[in-house]
Amino acid sequence: MLVLVAPGQGAQTPGFLTPWLDLPGVEDRLREWSAAIDLDLVHYGTKADADEIRDTAVAQPLLVASALVSSRQLFATPDEFRAGVGAAAGHSVGELAAAAWTGTLTDTAAMTLVRRRGQAMAEAAAVTETGMAALLGGDEAVVLPHLEKLGLTAANVNGAGQIVAAGTAEQIAALVEDKPEGTRRVVPLKVAGAFHTRHMAPAVTALETAVAELTVADPHTLYVSNRDGQVVASGQELVQRLVGQVANPVRWDLCMETFKEIGVTAIIEAAPGGTLVGLAKRALPGVQTLALKTPDDLDTARALIAEHRSPAAPSAE
């Protein structure tokens, strides 16, 4: 059982798309999407600096585009995807890439929606200076009450001893000075707002309007939702979950529990991979993992797919 996952905001680094543009068709695809959403993905993925790609309205489309173009090197058609992948999921904005992988949205629809999502969340974040910070180590039973005491929200419960707190800049600063007992480190994240909290409520309204215009299909492959780790079989429900998720916590810990329950044996993280396979290595011992960082990783990924393809899945050949 192979699970394909897409990373969330904060995974981007300057120039990370550069090597992917050497592959046939990738630059053309990116330029098509750029024209459709009025955002130069090629520029931001190759030449922009860290501050430019930290902008929520830029980072989110860039990450979904990267997940799509890197994964399409492995699975060019829906049949190839169904033959090789047992389940798909994405962390936060990565859920939109997973919605495209599983056929609920077209690639272009996913890019259009993520552009609106990024803009709406950036607008919501501009109302108050907010941010997020990762807490490494510590017991949930200790960490969660401590966050509540400081007025912070556990916006991402990622499992493997990692919780991401979100709130105002002052609350994040207070957390850095007063970390919960047992927590090794508090690391402020390169994001521009308190995502997955009440601060994002205005973005929910904007996305409700945006999804009303979309054509939606039921997923052809198991889709595991951030809301509660459940498999979602209805395309309409999946899209409604995408809308509500911007103002509610990401439960990646529950997603990984579901991966375990359905029998995952390998996980591939689409570009810019690294964060989610790092969590999986700690939470899912024995599961093989691979992060797609550059095209140099594709041959290894193809070998992993061949090894972990479900015996019941039809051949894509």
Query: Looking at the annotation, which residues are catalytic?
Result: 92, 196
Helices vs strands, H then E, count in the chain: 14, 9
Q: How many CB atoms lie within 10 A of CB 273?
A: 26
Is the omega angle on the peptide bond into residue 272 within 30 degrees of 0, that is, cis? yes
The sheet that has 162-168: what strands, in order across it? 153-159, 162-168, 130-137, 183-188
Distance CA 268, CA 277 (A): 7
Tell me the two tokens of residue 51: 């501050």
79 to 82, 221, 243, 313, 315: CA distances (angstroms)? 5, 10, 28, 10, 8
* Contact call for residues 101 and 4 (beta carbons, < 8 A): yes
